[in-house]
Structures are given as structure tokens and as C-alpha cells.
Amino acid sequence: MKVLGIETSCDDTSVALYDSEKGVAENLVSSQVDLHDHFGGVVPELASRAHLVNLLPLVDMLLERQKLQLKDLDAVAVTAGPGLIGALLVGLSTGKSLAMAADLPLVGVHHIEGHILANALTAELVLPAMVLVASGGHTELIHMPEVGRYERLGGTLDDAAGEAFDKTAKLLGLPYPGGPQIDRLAKQGTPGVFSFPRPLRKDPRPVFSFSGLKTAVRTVVDGLPRPLADQTVADVCYEVQEAIVDSLCEKLFAAARKKHVGAVYLAGGVAANGRLRDRVAAEASKRNLHFLAPERVYCTDNAAMIAYAGYCHLEAGRTDSLDLDSFPRGPVASWR
Ligand SMILES: Nc1ncnc2c1ncn2[C@@H]1O[C@H](COP(=O)(O)OP(=O)(O)OP(=O)(O)O)[C@@H](O)[C@H]1O
Ligand SMILES: [Mg+2]
């Protein structure tokens, strides 16, 4: 089965082809980072317009590279939400048009389910699992007994982990998105030079809080001599990353213990973070838990994860009508 995937929920335009015999045959991503960089964050209207310009040429490029025509596909899977509503509408109306034109089934995919199932693109899933979804807009703990069943245990009370990376990077004068910058610079940082809080550490609930971290970093950075020395920036990056990774790790393993799962997964853009991957892998091994994280290209937004999630829906007999609506927010839901 060949499923075309379309992802336009935020600032990446992506199309992919998932082939049930070969895996991911193609995953094309057109990033809008340069477009939004100047504004220090994603501008929704600009994102929608850029998707409109880029999406169909990307579909054409995919079909050409794969030597396929629309009629050779078996289905179209598209992100229906959550995300920026204008951006989602561009992807969804394009997906519907292609499905209608070629008389193909349409499958709407929840973006967060896509992030979770990205783990299955390069490894066998071990279930039940506790999944830490950490991205630009989400930080959640999701219990997953099987594909298609998701139980949200809790999440952040304020900022998402990705936002914490991006906002603190901005305070340090680093470009957007800040996560990859902090990941890189923290490697040169010296432990113990700075100290930042780990909020809600003693709180037994599966909840996170990252907004106080930004204030703590601002207070420290405002008191530093200008221009900021490269080593000082690296030292701050090191400690910010440790604070975020400590919070994520502790809550993930507490939730895994509570639900008696045999596996822990990472998902979402922050799952690309080297320190987080290393820490969770080491802690999982100590506890005899199976550990999975998507390959780095499949951590941040991509259509391969959407095409694969769509394939899982199709295998379970789930498709959507052309009345399908996009939605700006809403928790990942079980299929049955
Ligand atoms: N190596 C990294 N270390 C830490 N954070 C990272 C890394 N790579 C990417 N990120 C962060 O991941 C986030 C982007 O992830 P993703 O593309 O899934 O977000 P999104 O789609 O905007 O949000 P959501 O999935 O919640 O809708 C950004 O905040 C970015 O800084
Ligand atoms: Mg995402």
C-alpha cells in the first residue's frame, strides 16, 4: 500500500510517501525558518501563504522522483490538527482535493499521534509504553497500551519544553529554533557554573512547568557583562539543558513505574536532543525498560510520520469523509 502524507501544521511544509512494502520511500521537507527568523517566532499568516506556495510543487516533486502518478497511490493522509488553523487548512484542502481528484481514501491524522508513531518508522514498537511527547507546542505523558489507544496522564502547566529551549536561546541571542543551538553549545559548557530551578520536582503528579526557567535565565543573563562571552553562553546552555532534561526524565520514569509499562519512548522535536536521548536511554537500561526514540529526521515535523499513521488507520479500516475539519487544538484521541 502506498500512502501519500501531507504535514502543514506549523512552519514546515512536508510531503512523504510511505510504502508498506519498503517503508519510507520519500520524505520532503521545506522549512520556513528563514522566513520567520526575522520575527523571532512563527507568523501564522506568513506560514499559511508559504505552505500554499510550496505544497503542490513538493507533491509534484515527490511523484516525479518516485516515477508515480496520483492514480498509483492508495490513500492520502493529512494532518487535521492540532496546529495553526490557516496552515492546517492549506494541507487539509490540498489533501482532500488530491483524494477527490484521484478517487482515493482520505485519512485525517492527529499531529501528536504522528509524532508518537514516528518511533515505528525505524524500529519495532514494544507495547505497552509510556511516551514523553516534547515539542514546540506540547509536553505530555501518554500511556499507549496499543497503536490507536492513547491515555493522556498529564502535561505541562505552562510552557512546552521546546518553547523553554527556544525562549532561553532567544535571551542568549541565539537564532530560532533554539533547541538545536542549545544542544550543540551545551557540549562545550562547564557543569556547576550556573544553577537553575527544577520546578514541581517534589510534586507527585505527572505535570511539568517551564515558565519559571525563562525568568531564572533572564535574571542571570541580565546580570552578566556584555558582550556575552562564548564560554558563558555555553555554560548557561549546559545548565538550561540539564534543568529541562532532569524534569522530563524524572516525570517520565515516575509515570512508567506507575503504569508498569515495559517500554519508554520519546516523541516530538525535543526528542532530537542528544542529552535527553542519552539520559533516557541510560535510565531505561538501569530499569530494564525498552527505550525508543525516532531517528532525528523524524523527531521534528515531517510528513513520513503522518503517512505512516494514516497507513495504521487504513489497516484498521478507518478513513474520513471529505467533510473532515481541521482543528487548532485537542488531545490525541483513541480510535475506539
Ligand atoms: N536538538 C534539539 N534539542 C532540543 N530541542 C530541539 C532540538 N531539535 C528541535 N528542538 C525543538 O523542537 C521544537 C520543534 O518541534 P516540532 O517540530 O515537533 O514542534 P511543533 O510542531 O512546532 O510543535 P507541536 O508538535 O507541539 O505542534 C522546537 O521548539 C525546537 O527548538
Ligand atoms: Mg510537531
Please give, one letter per residue, the 3-state secondary structure of 30-65.
EECHHHHHCCCCCCHHHHHHHHHHHHHHHHHHHHHH
- Write out the three cell numbers for 300: 521534528
Query: Which has more confidence, 36 or 84?
Result: 84
Strand pairing partners for 63?
none
pLDDT of residue 317: 97
- As a whole number, mean pLDDT of residues 311-335 equals 97
Report the alpha-carbon distance of residue 33 to residue 256 in Å, rounded.
35
Min mean pLDDT across 32-41, 165-174, 176-185 is at 32-41
Q: Is 223 helix (H, G, I), strand (E, B) or coil?
A: coil
pLDDT digits (tens, 9 = 90+) for 175-225: 989 999 999 999 999 999 999 999 999 999 999 999 999 999 999 999 999
Does residue 289 carry a pLDDT above 90?
yes
Distance 61 CA to ligand 1 centre (A): 26
For the Cβ of 111 lying below 6 angstroms from any atom of ligand 1, the answer is yes
pLDDT of residue 15: 98
Report the alpha-carbon distance of residue 55 to residue 8 in Å, rounded.
9
Distance 268 CA to ligand 2 centre (A): 6
pLDDT digits (tens, 9 = 90+) for 220-242: 999 999 999 999 999 999 999 99
**Average model confidence (pLDDT) for the chain?**
97
pLDDT of residue 38: 81
Query: Comparing C-alpha atoms, which of 222, 215, 289 is closest to residue 249?
Result: 289
For the Cβ of 183 lying below 6 angstroms from any atom of ligand 1, the answer is yes
Q: Which amino acid is at 94?
A: T
Q: How confident is the model at residue 40 (pLDDT cuts 50, 70, 90)?
A: confident
- H/E stretch holding 241 reads helix 230-259
Interior angle at CA 331, CA 274 and CA 326, nearest 5: 105
Residue whose cell numbers read 516533486: 61
Number of residues in the chain: 336
Q: Which domains does the chain have, with CATH numbers?
A: 2-117+301-315 (3.30.420.40), 125-293 (3.30.420.40)
Residue whose cell numbers read 500511556: 143
* Residue 144 CA, distance from chain mean position: 17
Which residues neighbour ligand 2 (ion) by CB within 5 Å? Answer: 135, 301
Distance 46 CA to ligand 1 centre (A): 19
- Write out the three cell numbers for 84: 495553526
Query: Which has more confidence, 34 or 328?
Result: 328
Distance 198 CA to ligand 2 centre (A): 25
Q: How confident is the model at residue 34 (pLDDT cuts 50, 70, 90)?
A: confident
Does residue 154 carry a pLDDT above 90?
yes
Ligand positioned closest to the Cα atom of 42: 1
% of the chain surpassing 90 pLDDT: 96
What residue owns the CA closest to ligand 1's atom 30? 179
pLDDT of residue 313: 98
DSSP state letter for 75: E
pLDDT of residue 120: 98
What residue owns the CA closest to ligand 1's atom 24? 137
CB-based burial label for 11 (10 Å; 0-12, 13-18, 19+): buried
Tell me the CA distances in angstroms from 124 to 110, 120, 182, 265, one per residue in order: 21, 6, 30, 12
pLDDT of residue 100: 98
Report the alpha-carbon distance of residue 292 to residue 263 in Å, rounded.
8
